[in-house]
Amino acid sequence: MTKAKLTNARLAKGISQEELADLIGMTQSNYSRRENGHKKISEVEWVKIAKVLGVEKEVIYEPDEEINLKNTTVKMLQFNIPNFVLEHIELLKKENKILKEKLKQFKNQNINP
């Protein structure tokens, strides 16, 4: 959802996306994604933008649309992990457990000499 209030305020000041982006410390493409509603605008960014435009944040602020998960299709890729990888993971878990125990013993020896 395009941030109409923000876009209108920017245009009313005669400032391009590139100019505004430079003034708030980001690239034009990153700013464009925010103004067009493809990326969330953080609280800090809203404050910077309002300051550059010379308006109160509330004048330009529009909340981000909530994503409706019911209408969102998620495609999941399925793949098989080779057995040798799974076996190696198990070996690493065992070695990690042994090393944690050794570390605990080492710490106890240093605490109680």
- 4-66 CATH choice from 3.40.109.10, 3.30.420.340, 1.10.274.50, 1.10.260.40: 1.10.260.40
32, 43 Cβ separation under 8 angstroms: no
pLDDT in tens, the chain (113 residues): 889 999 999 999 999 999 999 999 999 999 999 999 889 999 999 999 999 999 999 999 998 876 555 555 556 677 788 889 989 999 999 999 999 999 999 888 877 66
pTM, to two decimals? 0.58
Q: Which string of DSSP letters, residue by residue, matches 8-68?
A: HHHHHTT--HHHHHHHHTS-HHHHHHHHTTSSPPPHHHHHHHHHHHTS-HHHH--PPPPP-
pLDDT at 60: 96
